[in-house]
Amino acid sequence: MNEISQDDTHRTIERVARESYGRLVAYLSVHTHDLASAEDALSNALVSALNHWPREGVPKNPEAWLLTAARHSLIDVIRHQKVVLEGEPTLKFLAENSTETTLPTSTQFPDERLKLLFVCAHPAIDPAMHTPLMLQTVLGVDAARIAQAFLIAPKTVGQRLFRAKTKIRSGGIPFEIPLERDLPERLDAVLEAIYASFGLGWDDMAGADQRGRDLAEEAMWLARVLLQLMPHEAEVQGLLALMLYCEARRPARRDAKDRYVPLSEQNPEQWLVPLIEEAEHHLSEAFKHRRVGRFQLEAAVQSVHAERARSGRTDWAAIVLFYEQLLKISPALGTQVGYAAAVAESKGPEAGLAVLDSIGAGAVSHYQPYWAVRAHLLQRLGKTHEASDAYDRAIGLAEDPAVREFLLQKRNG
Amino acid sequence: MQFALMIYHTPEEFEMRRNDYNHPHLGAWRAYYQALVKAGVYIAGDALEVPETGTTLRLRDGKRRVQDGPYADTKEQLAGFIILELPSVDAALEWAARCPGASIGAVEVRPLAPEAKRRGFTGE
């Protein structure tokens, strides 16, 4: 076999692993509830593919091949564990399924990823672990990358994931889609977890820290999977729209010298039109359900910003209205600060400052966007001394060096 | 819980500190210290002089051995430390990420050892 096709084989394995990882882990764990063993079995299958496929060629149905190999590996794992009492029905299930004469094709085994997503964001699991669990079990993101994105020591991530999986295996967390009465709350946890891996779209404020998770692509992938599995949930579509709008602005967030550019100074010609169009499609589809929610409203705010590409101006009054609705649903600190910034643009810096003053002082001592917006508004009002103090707080709380640099210049300029 | 943030500088950062007390980068440090104090997490901290001013001493086989400079001959050297009172290592890592030193050199986060203090292994 020559080198090119060897490369092709590796690319095929990577692609199949990426596209099928979550489907296979979900299918392999839905009866055992044992995510760790399912992941181990799948990684054994992938190693085996790396050994066999370059020599024997890529099988006609790579996903089915991986499933069969993983199932055999899983049977070995369970036999080794010797958990006969609990393992027996599982073994029977696995053995029955693996002796089928015809292999299931990718469309013939059920897609259990939705159940897996609900398991990862189950209320019995520490909310801080919802997103890491999802990234690992559905997308196969490794602990080292999760550690970087969430600022946790790599060893700690491993321990926390292990604890969460142990709880899923032995804590009676059901692998099922929640009943209708629980669905809104449970779905919200899934959406929150997906959004948490996206990082925040803070470029709409005057020098607010972005704290990007560097997992935007993964977050959008998860949202697309979820939308495919729940095509009629307005908030799912709202979340995808929100992320697409923010992602569309990525190229405009830094100038040629890699300096931070706030939204108001971004050149709309640098925004990615296809992503904006896709976002618009999803948002208008979502609105058709007439069940407005947090993510649709946040997406609506971004849609007003996107409009500047066409009209050359920003309709701040519309943004204020969306924020007012948003505050009724989720009065999170970020929403209050975003509202203050919008009010300042629409009704003047004094009005914006009044909104900021109404937020409790205790809540904002660690909250960078509050200080960035406050400094900006004080500067616009000519209160140089107070502005400079607020800039110091914003600079001291910033994590992104480009944002820090931008604020330092604003303070001195 | 108390944590030490140990700040390691590259030679370039030491150079900047030596030559230019008006450098914009130092404005970021001033702002960082203010944010720590105003957030109510700051306990103590100090900056160290440049590594060349250090002297390292060992007693081996009854003989004094004195060496110019720091203990370890590495590119990044200890430049200062900050002690913070925080609820968890997660919070300590967040503050470490905001530290201006993290974007050039490195910041090590380590819990203080309260047991050592309790048993009288410190000066208090």
Are A396 and B32 in contact (CB < 8 Å)?
A: yes
**Tokens 């210049």 sit at which residue?**
A409
Token couple for A71 = 């199932």
Are the C-beta atoms of residues A284 and A340 closer than 8 Å to each other? Answer: no
Q: How confident is the model at residue A68 (pLDDT cuts 50, 70, 90)?
A: very high
Token couple for A2 = 């020559």
Q: State the Rg of chain B over Cα.
A: 16
* 3-state SS assignment for residue A232: coil
Closest CA to B67 of B48, B77, B47, B52: B52
Of A151, A401, A411, the CB nearest to B94: A151
- Give the pLDDT confidence score for residue A107 in this predicted structure: 52
Are A397 and B35 in contact (CB < 8 Å)?
A: yes
Token couple for A237 = 């579509």
Residue A124, Cβ density class (10 Å: 0-12 exposed, 13-18 middle, ≥19 buried): exposed
Residue B57, Cβ density class (10 Å: 0-12 exposed, 13-18 middle, ≥19 buried): exposed
Token couple for B103 = 């974007």
* 3-state SS assignment for residue B78: strand
Determine phi and psi for B123, rounding to 5 degrees: -80, -5
- Give the pLDDT confidence score for residue A34 in this predicted structure: 93
- Give the pLDDT confidence score for residue A23 in this predicted structure: 92
- Give the pLDDT confidence score for residue A278 in this predicted structure: 97
Q: How confident is the model at residue A102 (pLDDT cuts 50, 70, 90)?
A: very low
- ∠ CA(A345), CA(A350), CA(A354), 5° rounding? 105
Are B98 and A156 in contact (CB < 8 Å)?
A: no
Are the C-beta atoms of residues A198 and A211 closer than 8 Å to each other? Answer: no
CB pairs under 8 A between A and B: 54
Of A156, A366, A404, the CB nearest to B28: A404
Instruction: Collect all residues of chain B within an 8 Å Cβ-Cβ radius of residue A365.
Output: 38-40
Are A392 and B28 in contact (CB < 8 Å)?
A: no
Residue ranges of chain A whose CB lies within 8 Å of a chain B CB: 151-153, 156, 365-366, 391-399, 401, 404-405, 408-409, 411-412
Are the C-beta atoms of residues A139 and A227 closer than 8 Å to each other? Answer: no
Domains by residue range for chain B, with CATH:
2-118 (3.30.70.1060)
Min Cα separation B17/chain A (Å):
17
Minimal-distance CA residue of chain B relative to A152: B90
Min Cα separation B32/chain A (Å):
4
pLDDT one digit per residue (tens) for chain B, 124 residues: 999 999 999 998 888 887 777 777 788 999 999 999 999 999 999 999 999 999 999 999 889 999 998 888 889 999 999 999 999 998 999 999 999 999 889 999 999 998 887 888 877 7
Instruction: Collect all residues of chain B within an 8 Å Cβ-Cβ radius of residue A391.
Output: 31
pLDDT above 70 for A86:
no
Are A396 and B35 in contact (CB < 8 Å)?
A: yes
Of B24, B34, B103, the CB nearest to A392: B34
Are the C-beta atoms of residues A370 and A333 closer than 8 Å to each other? Answer: yes
Min Cα separation B25/chain A (Å):
8
* Whole-angstrom distance, CA of residue A388 vs CA of residue A404: 14
pLDDT above 90 for A227:
yes
* Whole-angstrom distance, CA of residue A202 vs CA of residue A271: 16
Q: What is the DSSP string of A345-400?
A: HHH-HHHHHHHHHTS-HHHHTT-HHHHHHHHHHHHHTT-HHHHHHHHHHHHHH---
Residues forming a β-bridge with B110? B4
Residue to substitute from B5, B95, B98, interface A, most A β-carbons within 10 A? B98
Pairing state of beta strands B106-111 and B2-9?
A: antiparallel
- Give the pLDDT confidence score for residue A201 in this predicted structure: 54
- Give the pLDDT confidence score for residue A171 in this predicted structure: 83
Residues forming a β-bridge with B64? B59
| pLDDT, tens digit, 9 for 90 and up, residues A156-184 | 999 999 999 999 998 889 899 999 889 98
- Give the pLDDT confidence score for residue A93 in this predicted structure: 58
* Whole-angstrom distance, CA of residue A315 vs CA of residue A302: 11
Mean model confidence pLDDT for chain A: 89
More confident residue, A310 or A86: A310
Residues forming a β-bridge with A220? none
* Whole-angstrom distance, CA of residue A213 vs CA of residue A226: 20
pLDDT above 50 for A239:
yes
Of A151, A396, A408, the CB nearest to B93: A151
- Give the pLDDT confidence score for residue A1 in this predicted structure: 46
Mean pLDDT within A225-236: 95
- Give the pLDDT confidence score for residue A6 in this predicted structure: 74
Determine phi and psi for A354, rounding to 5 degrees: -65, -40
The percentage of residues in chain A with a pLDDT greater than 90, rounded to a whole number, is 65
Closest CA to A112 of A210, A198, A55, A28: A28
* Whole-angstrom distance, CA of residue A119 vs CA of residue A128: 14
Least confident of A12-16, A119-123, A350-354, B30-34: A12-16
Q: What is the DSSP string of A100-136?
A: -SSPPPTTTS---HHHHHHHHT-TTS-HHHHHHHHHH
Min Cα separation A197/chain B (Å):
16
- Give the pLDDT confidence score for residue A273 in this predicted structure: 96
More confident residue, A84 or A327: A327
